[in-house]
Amino acid sequence: MSEVQIDTQDRPVRDGSIRIHGPEGFEGMRAAGQVSAKALDMLTEFVAPGVTTQQIDDRVREFFFDHGAVPATLFYRGYTKSSCT
C-alpha cells in the first residue's frame, strides 16, 4: 500500500487504492449498521409534528453515545450535527 498523503486541511488524500477488509473490519461494519438501524427505529416513535430538527439531532447523538458509538457525520469536515435532517 502506498504512503498516505495529507492535504492542506489535514485530511488524507485518497490514492485510488482499494482497502481490503478482514473479518474484524466486517464485524465493525455490521455493528455500526445495527446501531444505525436501531437509531432509525427509535426515531419513528420520536419524530412528530412540532419536534424540531435540533431535537432530532440531539436524540440521535445521545442514542449513538449511549451505545458506545459516534455518529459518522459529527465533525466530518466541520459538520457539527449528528444527523442530516
The answer, yes or no, to whether residue 1 has pLDDT greater than 50, is no
**pLDDT tens figures, 5-61:** 555 666 667 788 888 889 999 999 999 999 999 999 999 999 999 999 999 999 999
Q: Which long-range contacts (CB under 8 A, 24 or more apart) does 73-79 make?
A: 77/11
Q: What is the pTM of this model?
A: 0.71
pLDDT for 6 equals 55
3-state secondary structure of 9: coil
**What percent of the chain is helix, strand and coil (3-state, nearest 5)?**
50, 5, 45
pLDDT for 9 equals 62
Q: Measuring CA to CA, which residue among 24, 82, 36, 16 is closest to residue 55?
A: 82
For residue 41, what is its C-alpha cell?
Answer: 427505529
Residue 59 is given by DSSP the state H
